[in-house]
Amino acid sequence: MADRDDKNRKIVFTGASGGIGTMIRPLLAKHYPGLVLSDRAKPASLLASETFVAADLTKPDEVAAAVKGAHSVIHLGGHSTEGAWDAILQANIIGCYNLFEAARLAGVKRVIFASSNHAVGFYPRKRKIRTDVTVRPDSRYGVSKAFGEALGALYADKHGMSVTCIRIGNVGPKPLDVRRLSIWISPEDITQLIRIGLEHPDIRFDIVYGASDNEASWWDNSRARQLGYRPTGKAEDHRAHAVAEQAKVGPDPVGDLFQGGTFTSAEFTNDPKRAGP
């Protein structure tokens, strides 16, 4: 595959200073020397092989400068949790559009978009879902991720860009509570999914779930496996830790019903029986 063999291609990584970016940068650097990191703030430390270009996603000129000459973009940048509408609008909607449009103008071939499980957070926990279900966002943040997926489809179909959307669960060394036993993904496994997005020759537009090999998973991730995904992390290895942490949290009458957890119960004014599909 030409993309896999070309070690000189420029890969831009937005959101490189964030929590996920900090965890996976060293793993990606092993496979892609010369990563160009971008964020509003410079990462605490740069590897010798990395360079940094400051860019605010809400400023088109800065985004254009960051992706100039890039072959591929790993787009993790933006507002990473629920927030006020204006914050979500600026970073995750306007900023996402700025990124895709700058990538198009720069001739970028591939974009890996960090979507989220919160784009489908109002599905009940008792239901296993595929990637082709109707989006049911659980928050303004979830709406912005559904928007990013739709934007990716537009740029794939209209402009021929290869776009991979990863509906990320929760990235970390271990699941933080019982809910995350179903949605956890290890840093190594999300790196594997990003590599598939960067290298697989058959991707035009795809959505996959960002989850490890979790026995309690709510998601059918068969498309990721068709693309070669072979997760090595297993949430069940950390069940005792997750159960112990859950005991500190206590019950959530709304959040415990739905896959999005506390994102569904925050600001909730509906009857739970009328929420979700």
* Residue ranges covered by each domain of the chain: 2-274
Residues tagged active-site: 141
Q: What is the pLDDT of residues 123-168, one digit of tens each?
A: 999 999 999 999 999 999 999 999 999 999 999 999 999 999 999 9
Bridge partners of 210, per DSSP, are: 168
Confidence (pLDDT) at 7: 57
- Backbone torsions φ then ψ of 3, nearest 5 degrees: -65, -35
Domain 2-274 has CATH 3.40.390.30: no
Each residue of 193-228: pLDDT tens digit? 999 999 999 999 999 999 999 999 999 999 999 999
Token pair recorded at residue 148 = 């990013």
Q: Average model confidence (pLDDT) for the chain?
A: 96
Q: Beta partners for 170?
A: 184
| C-alpha span between 127 and 123 (Å, rounded) | 7
Contact 170, 184 (CB under 8 A): yes
Helix H or strand E encompassing 159: helix 140-159
Which pLDDT belongs to residue 1?
Answer: 41
Which pLDDT value is given to residue 8?
Answer: 72
Report field, pTM of the whole predicted structure over 0.75:
yes
Q: Which residues of the chain have pLDDT under 50?
A: 1-2, 5
Q: For residues 197-224, b (16+ Cβ closer than 10 Å) or e, as one string?
A: bbbbeebebbbbbbbbbbebbbbebeeb
